[in-house]
Amino acid sequence: MGRLIVVLIPLMLWAKVICDQEGERITCAYLINRSDNAKGLTVRFHWISPNGKDDRVRIFKVPPYYGSVYDYRFLPGRVPGKWRVEVKELETNKTSETTFDINQTTEIFFED
């Protein structure tokens, strides 16, 4: 049991990406341990679509001691299937990623 605790504690300290659907959009947040962000960070969000045609890369500056940064994509018009979001800290090359499924999309959001 003691070895299991030693293994789990370092895993909990790693930054992670969490995605959630909020109405007509998917929001992904990159959560950072504030004490690991004493100098500020530059992170790259890479949205990877199932067919590669709807990928997007955005770069954000995270101020010192901030604990999160987020990006979002609107659902209407997105390709259905398994999406992957990869976030990379450019200073340290640490990478965290997650996946989610978009089952169907509609253009209703863009209609008048």
CATH number where 61 lies: 2.60.40.10
Q: Which residues pair with 43 in a beta bridge?
A: 60, 89
Residue 97: domain span: 12-110
Q: Quick one: average pLDDT of 31-52?
A: 93
Asked whether residue 87 is assigned to any structural domain, the reply reads yes
Say whether pTM exceeds 0.85.
no
Task: Look at residue 5 in the predicted model and tell me its pLDDT.
Answer: 39
Q: Residues 74-97: pLDDT tens digits?
A: 999 899 999 999 999 999 999 999
* pLDDT at 42 exceeding the cut of 90: yes
Please indicate, yes or no, if residue 76 is contained in any of the structural domains: yes
Does 6 map to a domain?
Answer: no
> Domain tally for the chain?
1
Whether 28 and 17 have beta carbons less than 8 Å apart is answered as yes
| Rounded-to-10 torsion of CA 13, 42, 60, 23 | -10
